[in-house]
Copies of this chain bind each other. A is one copy, B any other.
Amino acid sequence: MSTRRGSKNSSSQDFDPTPSLGKTIQRLRKAYNMSLGDLSEHSGVAKSIISQIERNETNPTLSTVYRLSRALDTTIDEVLRTEGAALFLEHQTKSGVPILESQDGLCRLAIAGPLNLVDQVQWYDFRAKEGGVLESDPHPQGTVEHLYILAGELDVTTGEETRRVKVGETLRFRGDLPHKIVNVGAGDAHATMMLVLRQLGSADNSG
């Protein structure tokens, strides 16, 4: 009944406490556009360990998970939460920040802006492979979305209207409606996306 005796590949006896942990860490890391080295430096955890954790090859310590969680701006229990695997789009949250990522790798939306501004403005790096589609649920009322195309060609549909945008162009549209972005160009598409949230109080950023 030894749990740890030969546990290398003995994944049968006591099944993985958190089968999704590795995947979750990796998803968050990528969503923040961090390399293993970045995350290592930022969290204080050796990158070799992070690599192993992501591949579920080790059985991390609480302190390790904790440090990673902090570096990823979330909490231990968020990270450990065994959420059902996402189908196409999944969105993590914590402070309401959507981190979108397509499972098949067609699209990725990575957080680019500073985390502490998350309540006012959210700033993403959007990349889509050929044919990639990103569908978004409506953001909060009053949200305005800006899209600046760095590469490729996109169709943006918001509400009933569709617009085509190319490299160098900027599109500004309502983010509080369901919207969809399709990479209609020949290769990869790349854009900077900014969400400006409606300011409610406006006086709340002290301290």
Please state the number of chain copies in the assembly: 2
Name, among A8, A21, A41, A63, the residue most crowded by chain B CB atoms within 10 Å (CB to CB).
Answer: A63
Q: Which of the 9-residue segments A10-18, A99-107, A197-205 touches chain B?
A: A10-18
Is the Cβ of A13 less than 8 Å from the Cβ of B80?
A: no
Stretch in contact with the other chain, from A65-73, A114-122, A163-171, A183-191: A65-73
What is the minimal beta-carbon distance from A61 to any residue of chain B, in angstroms? 5
The A49-101 residues at the B interface (CB cut-off 8 A) are 59-63, 65-67, 70, 76-77, 80-81
Please state if A1 and B62 are interface contacts (CB–CB under 8 Å).
no
CB pair B8–A66 under 8 Å, yes or no, is no
Contact among B1, B17, B44, B77 with A66 in the assembled complex (CB-CB below 8 Å): B17
User: Which 3 residue pairs across A and B have the least CB separation, nearest first?
Assistant: A17-B66, A59-B63, A77-B77
Interface residues of A (CB under 8 A from B): 1, 3-4, 7-9, 13-14, 17-18, 21, 41, 43-44, 59-63, 65-67, 70, 76-77, 80-81
